[in-house]
Structure 1
Amino acid sequence: MNNNIIVIDLEATCWEYDRTPPGQKTDIIEIGICELNKSTRAISGKQSIYVIPERSKISNFCTQLTGITPQLIEEKGIYFEEACEKIRDEYHPEMLTWAGFGAFDREQMMQQCDYLGIENPFSGNYLNIMHLFRNYNGLHKMMGLKRALKAMNMNFEGHHHSGADDAYNAARILREIL
């Protein structure tokens, strides 16, 4: 059994008041990713994989929220299929458990893979860190990543809504509750 869990956080195209423009669909624009070793408790391999949106455009609202600009995507972005290949090559995720804070990341990944006819690079074994956190703390309501860190007396490290930083902070929570 592999000791590593891959923790991801996605940033996706978004619009103010969730008003998706006609003809556009939510696209992943950043896959933040890192690895948590359950034995050593080390978090490694933190990176951002920027993804070219194929079904939508990055709105000003989205740029203000995530810091991701069309220029950044033009310079550093790769197509979603290439991003999936990069993840397969670097993390060998098909054998590993993967995790995210909430269900959005898993659902968006699966939806975009299905829509584009690309095999999901991740295994079927997904941990919802938000649910684990809620159960660990005996809570009835869900809370966001920043509030969850605060509840565990941890500071957020980096920039909120940066996929790599959010993945890293989610991995820190997972490390504490495992």
Structure 2
Amino acid sequence: MNMAMASSRVVLSRPRDHKLSVINGTLNKMSKEQLKRQAGELGLHDKGTKNVLLPRLKNYYKRVKDCLPTQADAGAAAVVTSLNEQPVDYFCVVDFEATCWSDVPFMTAESEIIEFPVVLLNARTLKKEAEFHSYCRPTRNPILSEYCRSLTGITQAQVDAADTFPFILKRFESWLAVHVRRDQTISIATHGPWDLQKFLFDQCKFCEQPFPPYAQHYVNMKRHFSNLYSVNIHDGDLSIAGMLSMLELEFEGQEHSGIDDARNIATIMQQMMRDGYVLRNNREVLLQ
């Protein structure tokens, strides 16, 4: 282990927990550039802020049997992930877009889902295996505001030509049954709470149909990101673009395009799992 601020090797005769504490203490003292160099030598992704690099390396050493491989050993070591520890087989990464207005507060707006995008992320292989994407025709406020069209890039013609939400939801569930076997498990994953607690909940209530049971417990990725990389959820920039920036990755596509947002959320989740993090359901939709 090449560390400029410590001896290159640490004696491995101590109990494992003690060894890890020595390693973690040394990592804590390293600069960002030293952490990047160490990650690169171990075959890990070497991009990200110091808050990103530090847990990446700590999780690596927590999971390898030989806590301090030599540089030669490191080249042969596989990138350590927690893929076998993930609680489900697939994540359905969702980012709804909904009707909105510049002069109506978000939480009180009578929003309807107008874009229904899902990226199917394999939790074992980290591959984005499939996508579901459809626009939805709103019925309560069928004419999109200029603000909504500008923000989302969705046109009036696209929603006018689409089916209403109940048909799209059934279509999604049929699509999901084709791509995920009965013996496999899924979790819905979103950027934050509003896609399910606000948009999906309000939409189901308005359409007088049951809330999908598979979506009641879900992965709030923003809170997991905050926990893994020690970013204050209230003070830090935990927008999708902000999280990508901390990982030193670029946003691909158009922000506030539902399908592009979902793809980028999936990219963040891929890196979090490569960094050794287990993405469990951590939020529940309040059905009231």
Q: Same fold per TM (> 0.5)? A: yes
Following superposition, the deviation at residue 11 of structure 1 comes to 0.4
SS where residue 5 of structure 1 aligns?
strand
Q: Does 1:25 align with 2:110?
A: yes
Q: Choose which of 89, 94, 100 in structure 2 pairs with 1:8.
A: 94
Q: How many matched pairs? A: 175
Question: What is the distance in 2 between the residues matched to 1:155 and 1:41?
Answer: 18
Equivalent in the alignment of 2:267: 172
Following superposition, the deviation at residue 19 of structure 1 comes to 5.1
Following superposition, the deviation at residue 122 of structure 1 comes to 5.4
Higher-Rg structure is 2
Runs of 4+ off more than 6 Å: none
Following superposition, the deviation at residue 158 of structure 1 comes to 1.0
Which aligned pairs between 1:66-105 and structure 2 lie closer than 5 A?
A: 66-75=152-161, 77-92=162-177, 96-105=186-195
* Cα contact 1:149–1:156 (8 A) shared by 2: yes
Question: What is the distance in 1 between the residues matched to 2:211 and 2:259?
Answer: 20
1:107-141 deviation per Cα after TM superposition (whole angstroms, max 9, x unaligned): 11122112212233451330001111111111113
Equivalent in the alignment of 2:247: 152
Following superposition, the deviation at residue 18 of structure 1 comes to 3.0
Identity of aligned residues (%): 27
Q: Name which of structure 1's ranges 25-34 and 39-48 shifts more when overlaid on structure 2.
A: 39-48
Which aligned pairs between 1:34-113 and structure 2 lie closer than 5 A?
A: 34-56=119-141, 57-75=143-161, 77-92=162-177, 96-107=186-197, 108-113=199-204
SS where residue 97 of structure 2 aligns?
strand
SS where residue 253 of structure 2 aligns?
coil
Q: 1:122 to 1:165 in 2, by over 3 A?
A: farther
* Cα contact 1:6–1:34 (8 A) shared by 2: yes
What are structure 1's unaligned runs of at least 5 residues?
none
Instruction: Give the TM-score of the pair, scaled to structure 1.
Output: 0.89
Equivalent in the alignment of 2:231: 139
Question: What is the distance in 2 between the residues matched to 1:62 and 1:44?
Answer: 30
* Letter of the 1:104 counterpart: W
Question: What is the distance in 2 between the residues matched to 1:70 and 1:122?
Answer: 31
* Letter of the 2:139 counterpart: E
Which structure has the highest strand share of the two? Answer: 1
* Cα contact 1:87–1:121 (8 A) shared by 2: no
Question: What is the distance in 1 between the residues matched to 2:167 and 2:257?
Answer: 20
Which aligned pairs between 1:119-134 and structure 2 lie closer than 5 A?
A: 119-121=210-212, 123=214, 124-134=216-226
What are structure 2's unaligned runs of at least 5 residues?
1-86, 274-288
Question: What is the distance in 2 between the residues matched to 1:102 and 1:8?
Answer: 10
* Letter of the 2:101 counterpart: W
Question: What is the distance in 1 between the residues matched to 2:269 and 2:103?
Answer: 31
Q: Name which of structure 1's ranges 79-88 and 108-117 shifts more when overlaid on structure 2.
A: 108-117
Following superposition, the deviation at residue 70 of structure 1 comes to 1.1
1:28-73 deviation per Cα after TM superposition (whole angstroms, max 9, x unaligned): 1001111110111001322421000121131011000111111111
Q: Name which of structure 1's ranges 1-10 and 101-110 shifts more when overlaid on structure 2.
A: 1-10
Equivalent in the alignment of 2:73: none
Equivalent in the alignment of 2:209: 118
SS where residue 248 of structure 2 aligns?
coil
Structure with larger RCO (C-alpha < 8 A, sep 6+): 1
Instruction: Give the TM-score of the pair, scaled to structure 2.
Output: 0.57
